[in-house]
Structure 1
């Protein structure tokens, strides 16, 4: 008798699946799409947080450098005004060579 109920239950479930296969397929598709959407949103959120952490670190380094240069300025150190980029020395000799005014002169210099 127990086997008969098992067989009847299996036949009933099979009949429901065959009768409502389109609805079952739709529900499974919606559930899978929802799971994919949640996974995609969580990945995007993780990328956003990583970028925010990098931005925060960059701004913190900038603030630390500004504070250091401010302290140098208060102490009278010229690095406090110009930071890592001091102005060029106008009395220094130029390190780059001057280009000739014409192409002909340039070719002649190259041949020498």
Structure 2
């Protein structure tokens, strides 16, 4: 009896696959496309975010160095040192 039920289900399933093969292929292609976008998109997005963080950290370091140099030049200017006014590029004596 189990063999007859199994055979009946297999015939019904085969008939359904033959009738709706276009729909099955479309669904499989859409699923493969979504999976591919996820499999390729997630690593790309993580790398992009890491580059963004690195760029932000580099910009923060550059601004910190600029602020530190400005503070040193300000202190030099307050004590009357010409390097505080002109920085590393003093004018040529004429």
TM-score by length of 1: 0.63
| Whole-angstrom distance in 1 between the partners of 2:85 and 2:68 | 8
CA contact (8 A) 2:74 2:84 kept: no
SS of 1:36's equivalent? helix
Dislocated runs of 4+, deviation >6 Å: none
Residues 1:31 and 2:37 aligned together: no
Give structure 1 stretches of 5+ with no counterpart: 92-112
Q: CA RMSD in A?
A: 2.5
Which structure has the highest helix share of the two?
2
Query: Using a 3 Å threshold, how does the CA distance of structure 1 residues 25 and 6 change in structure 2: closer, same or farther?
Result: same
How many residue pairs get aligned? The number is 88
TM-score by length of 2: 0.73
| Whole-angstrom distance in 1 between the partners of 2:68 and 2:14 | 76
Q: Say which one has the larger Rg.
A: 1
Give structure 2 stretches of 5+ with no counterpart: none
Tell which has more relative contact order, 1 or 2 (C-alpha 8 A, sep 6+): 2
